[in-house]
């Protein structure tokens, strides 16, 4: 089911949670809404579900205008961060709930509902747990049950609100992979919300990066990584260092030192560079100089921070065998970078 | 010594010994010793004598009335107390806090005052009572003679409903506030309409609290005296409640008779509360609260 969102806005008591958002979701796509808290990603998801109603704009499911339809009429599967399972019902009853509340004419028989619940338990890899109660399951199992419950109504679109947010890191990674496989098998149009950039970039076909109620960029993981549309996107999807530079005659100069070339017009810029895109330069060669203030090992690499005289700390991620210990004076040079308007860069903090 | 120690489990929370000791002493002094005295007194009467006293038609009539009217009042409050709690929790309206505070008035008002006020209202010449008399606007609904509320068992139910209302509201209210709104949203996304959501998702979550409220309201109503004696009319065999009968027996210096009625009340109350507790334990398991 294609979903098309046009000029969507949502206001809560004078606060604009969503501001003129337009987005096309293709049928069968797995798409992530990524952003910090307060970016409007959950509001957008809830508007698509019909759990909130927009202050302006339209939502279309295929050719049909869904904007004014109730949540019951939209036929969406919604999975909550904290599962929202019905505690007093067995797992099978939870899964069958959506079928059992249908009007008499379209309601399947009890036996049929039970059969469907068992089928879905197979699908989410929890066969035989139908008679358990939610309290007897682990967090990961509960979220699978919640997903099976959402799938039971054969939804036109599957919406997941921070589905793995309440789980520990290991279970989260497992479920992530599992959800991707499930999506490839069932082909549901799926939208999920997350604030975890790894989760979004690893799992989704396309990622929608949001900030302050607006869409900053829509694209594949590669687009977001390699061609960030704004300083915000660059900073949000990974660690970054920001340096004030001057472009003159196609050369990028950092405090008199030429770091590289650019086709950009002359003027002040902010240079954004990832810690792993910085390399050490040999003694005497031009670079960004500073004193090593911190050096530690992290997995297969070394994390080094250098103090520059004018622009504070710069973080580097170097191979594990790279030299440099606290107190050494070293110089570095960016291999790859992104230039943004200096003014725009000023409001972005690294991290 | 070892047995006494085995009783006490190692705990990071200090003060078990003193707290537990005090709890036993307190319960003993306040609850158990007076009740034990009552039972001793009743046992001193002798079994056949006790049976004669306890099965006296006036006594059984009073007991039936007391427990019947209390059950009716508690049942009424389960329905309407739930409604009041629901409105207070789910809707925001001007004066909500005022209504919320008013719920506790039956707690604070001297029960005799409540009884007199209710009697004035529900007597055949009172504001509400007059509506139901044979000549009143609603009287025809109840046949020739209209409906008499005050000075009948019906009046007793009215008074008991009044005094026991806060118990249901105040036990259900916090639990209802805790019911996660996401559960209702989940039910809605699955296609459930409002009625299905309330009956199949929200109500089962508050059944244990509702039972607790019912038990408290019932216990309060059974022991109520002050408000009832004004509205009941106190006609033996018709509208005489058991607590009043105890007082009457005492005034006759018939201590054995008073003790017999009291012991019967105690026994019936104990059995009823025990049954409610068992139902509650079952419902907690059934509705997944204890698991």
pLDDT tens, position by position, B191-238: 999 999 999 999 988 888 999 999 999 999 999 999 999 998 888 888
Nearest to B204 among A84, A88, A152 (CB): A88
A contact test, residue of B179, B184, B186 with most A CBs within 10 A: B186
Residue B72: CB atoms within 10 A of its CB come to 17
Q: Closest to A71 (Cβ–Cβ): which among B183, B189, B200?
A: B189
Percent above pLDDT 70 for chain A: 97
A155-192, pLDDT tens digit by residue? 999 999 999 888 888 888 888 888 999 999 989 999 99
pLDDT-derived band at A13 (thresholds 50, 70, 90) equals confident
Tell me what the mean pLDDT of segment B107-133 comes to.
90
And the tokens for A155? 């939804």
- Rounded to two decimals, the pTM is 0.78
Report the pLDDT value the prediction gives residue B96, as an integer from 0 to 100.
92
Residues of A in contact with B204 (CB under 8 A): 86, 88
Please classify residue A9 by burial: count the beta carbons closer than 10 Å to its beta carbon, then call 0-12 exposed, 13-18 middle and 19+ buried: middle
Question: Are A51 and B185 a contacting pair at CB < 8 A?
Answer: yes
Q: Which residue matches tokens 């604009």?
A: A16
Does the structure show a pLDDT above 80 at B290? Answer: no
- From chain A, the residues in CB contact with B180 under 8 A are 82, 84
Q: How far is A237 from chain B (nearest CA, A)?
A: 30
Neighbour tally for A319: CB within 10 Å: 11
Residue A53 near chain B (CB below 8 Å): no
> What secondary structure does DSSP assign to A279-314, as a single string?
EE--TTSSSEEEEEEEEEEETTEEEEEEEETTTEEE
DSSP A96-149: HHHHHTS-TTTPPPHHHHHHHHHHHHHHTT-TT-TTS-GGGS-HHHHHHHHHHH
pLDDT tens column, A139-156: 999 999 999 999 999 999
CA distance A115 to A122: 11
> For residue A155, what is the nearest residue in chain B, using CA coordinates?
B190
- Beta bridge partners, A329, equal A291
**A272 and B CB contact within 8 Å:** no
Do the Cβ atoms of A71 and B180 come within 8 Å? no
Question: Are the CB atoms for B192 and A101 separated by under 8 Å?
Answer: yes
Contacts of A78 in chain B (CB under 8 A): 185-186, 189
Contacts of B287 in chain A (CB under 8 A): 87-88
A166 touches chain B (CB under 8 A): no
- Residue from A69, A87, A151 whose CB has the most chain B CBs within 10 Å, to mutate: A87
Residue B133 confidence (pLDDT): 84
A-B contacts at Cβ under 8 angstroms = 75
Is a pLDDT exceeding 60 seen at residue A346?
no
What residue spans of A187-250 are helical by DSSP H?
197-203, 221-226, 231-236
Mean pLDDT score, A19-42: 93
All residues of chain B having their beta carbon less than 8 Å from the beta carbon of residue A143 are none
- Minimal Cα–Cα distance from A94 to chain B, Å? 10
Strand order in the sheet with A278-280: A278-280, A329-334, A288-298, A301-308, A312-319
Q: What is the pLDDT of residue A26?
A: 93
The whole-angstrom separation of Cα A267 and Cα A245 is 9
Running DSSP on this structure, what letter comes out for residue B200?
Answer: I
Which chain A residue is nearest to residue B202, measuring alpha carbons?
Answer: A86
- pLDDT at site A310: 82
And the tokens for A37? 């808290």
How sure is the predictor about A349, in pLDDT bands with cuts at 50, 70 and 90?
very low
Classify B217 as helix, strand or coil. helix
Distance between A143 CA and the closest CA of chain B, angstroms: 13
Under 8 Å CB-to-CB from B143, ≥6 apart: which residues?
none
End-to-end CA distance of chain B: give it in Å, rounded: 35
Gap between the Cα atoms of B166 and B114, Å rounded: 14
Whether chain B has a CB inside 8 Å of the CB on A178: the answer is no
Question: What pLDDT score does A169 carry?
Answer: 86
Q: Please indicate if any CB of chain B lies within 8 Å of the CB of A135.
A: yes
Give the closest-approach CA distance of A86 to chain B in angstroms: 7
| Antiparallel, parallel or unpaired: β A206-211 and A30-34 | parallel
| A78 with B289: Cβ contact below 8 A | no
Q: Specify the pLDDT at position A347.
A: 40
SS3 A170: helix
The interface predicted TM-score (ipTM) is 0.83
**Cα four-point dihedral sign A65, A69, A75, A78:** positive
d(CA B192, CA A99): 9
Mean pLDDT across A204-230: 93
Candidates B192, B200, B291; nearest CB to A133: B291
Residue B239's alpha-carbon distances to A5, A16, B152, B162, in angstroms, are 69, 64, 6, 18
Condensed to tens digits (0 to 9), the pLDDT of residues A72-98 reads: 999 999 999 999 999 889 999 999 999
CB-CB neighbors (< 8 A) of A49 in chain B: 189
Least reliable range by pLDDT among A216-220, B6-10, B141-145, B207-211: B6-10
Give the closest-approach CA distance of A147 to chain B in angstroms: 11
Q: Residue A98 and residue B190: Cβ atoms within 8 Å? A: yes
The 3-state DSSP class for residue B229 equals helix
Contact A87 B288 (CB under 8 A): yes
pLDDT in tens, B66-102: 999 999 999 999 999 999 999 999 888 999 999 999 9
pLDDT in tens, A315-344: 999 888 888 788 888 889 999 999 988 764
- For residues A145 and A95, the answer to whether their CB atoms sit within 8 Å is yes
Q: Which residue of B has its CA nearest to A48?
A: B189
pLDDT of B8 higher than 80: no
| CB pair distance less than 8 Å for A84 and B188 | no
Phi, psi of B191 (to 5 degrees): 100, 0
CA distances from A153 to A110, B30, B199, B215 (A): 15, 58, 20, 40
Beta strands across the sheet bearing A267-273: A257-261, A251-254, A241-248, A267-273, A338-341
Helix, strand, coil abundance in chain A, percent, nearest 5:
30, 35, 35
Choose the closest CB to A101 out of B183, B192, B286: B192
Q: What is the mean pLDDT of chain A?
A: 90
CB–CB contact B291 A77 (8 Å): no
Q: Select from B190, B192, B201 the residue whose CB has the most chain A CBs within 10 Å, as the one to mutate to test that interface.
A: B190
Q: What angle do CA A296, A298, A304 make, to 5 degrees?
A: 40
Residue of A53, A70, A72, A142 to mutate for B, most B C-beta atoms under 10 A: A72
Look up residue B193 and give its two tokens. 């309409």
Nearest CB neighbour to B189, from listed A76, A88, A102: A76
Q: B203 vs chain A: nearest CA distance in angstroms?
A: 10
Is the Cβ pair A72, B188 closer than 8 Å?
yes
């Amino acid at each position: 089911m294609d979903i098309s969102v046009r000029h969507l806005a949502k206001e809560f008591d004078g606060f604009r949670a969503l501001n003129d958002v337009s987005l096309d979701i293709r049928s069968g796509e797995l798409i992530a809404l990524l952003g910090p808290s307060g970016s409007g990603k959950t509001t957008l998801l809830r508007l698509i579900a019909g759990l909130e109603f927009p202050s302006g704009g339209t939502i279309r499911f295929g050719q049909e205008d869904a904007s004014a339809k109730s949540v019951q009429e939209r036929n969406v599967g919604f999975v909550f961060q904290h599962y929202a399972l019905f505690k007093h019902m067995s797992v099978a009853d939870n899964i069958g709930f959506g079928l059992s509340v249908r009007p008499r004419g379209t309601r399947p028989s009890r036996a049929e509902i039970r059969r469907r619940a068992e089928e879905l338990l197979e699908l989410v890899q929890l066969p035989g747990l139908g008679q358990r109660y939610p309290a007897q399951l682990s967090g990961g199992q509960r979220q699978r049950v919640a997903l099976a419950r959402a799938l039971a109504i054969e939804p036109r679109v599957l919406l997941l609100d921070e589905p793995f947010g309440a789980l520990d890191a290991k279970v989260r990674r497992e479920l992530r992979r599992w959800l991707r496989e499930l999506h490839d098998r069932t082909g549901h149009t799926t939208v999920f919300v997350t604030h975890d950039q790894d989760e979004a970039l690893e799992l989704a076909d396309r990622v929608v990066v949001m900030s302050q109620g607006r869409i900053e960029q829509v694209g594949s993981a590669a687009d977001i990584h390699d061609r960030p549309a704004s300083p915000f996107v660059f900073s949000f999807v990974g660690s970054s260092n920001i340096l004030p530079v001057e472009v003159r005659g196609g050369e990028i100069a950092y405090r008199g030192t030429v770091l590289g070339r650019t086709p950009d017009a002359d003027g002040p810029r902010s240079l954004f560079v990832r810690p792993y895109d910085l390399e050490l330069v040999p003694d005497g060669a031009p670079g960004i100089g500073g004193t090593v203030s911190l050096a530690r090992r992290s997995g297969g690499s070394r994390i080094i921070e250098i103090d520059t005289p004018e622009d504070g700390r710069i973080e580097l991620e170097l191979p594990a065998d790279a030299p440099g210990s606290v107190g050494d004076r070293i110089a570095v040079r960016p291999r790859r970078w992104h230039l943004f308007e200096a003014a725009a860069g000023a409001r972005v903090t690294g991290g | 010594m070892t047995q006494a120690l085995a009783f006490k489990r190692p705990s990071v929370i200090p003060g078990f010994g003193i707290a537990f000791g005090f709890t036993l002493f307190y319960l003993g002094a306040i609850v158990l010793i007076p009740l034990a005295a009552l039972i001793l007194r009743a046992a001193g009467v002798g079994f056949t004598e006790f049976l004669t006293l306890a099965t006296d038609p006036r006594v059984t009539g009073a007991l039936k009335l007391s427990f019947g009217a209390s059950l009716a009042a508690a049942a009424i409050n389960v329905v309407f107390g739930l409604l009041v709690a629901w409105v207070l929790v789910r809707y925001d309206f001007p004066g909500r806090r005022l209504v919320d505070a008013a719920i506790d008035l039956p707690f604070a008002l001297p029960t005799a005052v409540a009884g007199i006020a209710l009697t004035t209202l529900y007597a055949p010449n009172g504001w509400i009572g007059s509506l139901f008399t044979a000549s009143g606007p609603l009287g025809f609904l109840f046949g020739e003679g209209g409906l008499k509320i005050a000075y009948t068992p019906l009046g007793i139910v009215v008074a008991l409903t009044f005094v026991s209302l806060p118990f249901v509201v105040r036990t259900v209210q916090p639990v209802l506030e805790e019911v996660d709104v996401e559960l209702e949203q989940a039910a809605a996304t699955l296609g459930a309409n409002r009625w299905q959501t309330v009956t199949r998702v929200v109500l089962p979550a508050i059944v244990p609290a509702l039972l607790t409220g019912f038990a408290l309201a019932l216990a309060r109503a059974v022991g109520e005296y002050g408000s009832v004696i004004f509205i009941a009319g106190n006609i033996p065999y018709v509208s005489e409640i058991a607590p009043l009968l105890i007082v009457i027996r005492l005034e006759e210096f018939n201590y054995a008779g008073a003790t017999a009625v009291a012991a019967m009340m105690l026994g019936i109350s104990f059995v009823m509360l025990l049954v409610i507790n068992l139902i509650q334990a079952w419902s907690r398991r059934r509705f997944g609260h204890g698991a």
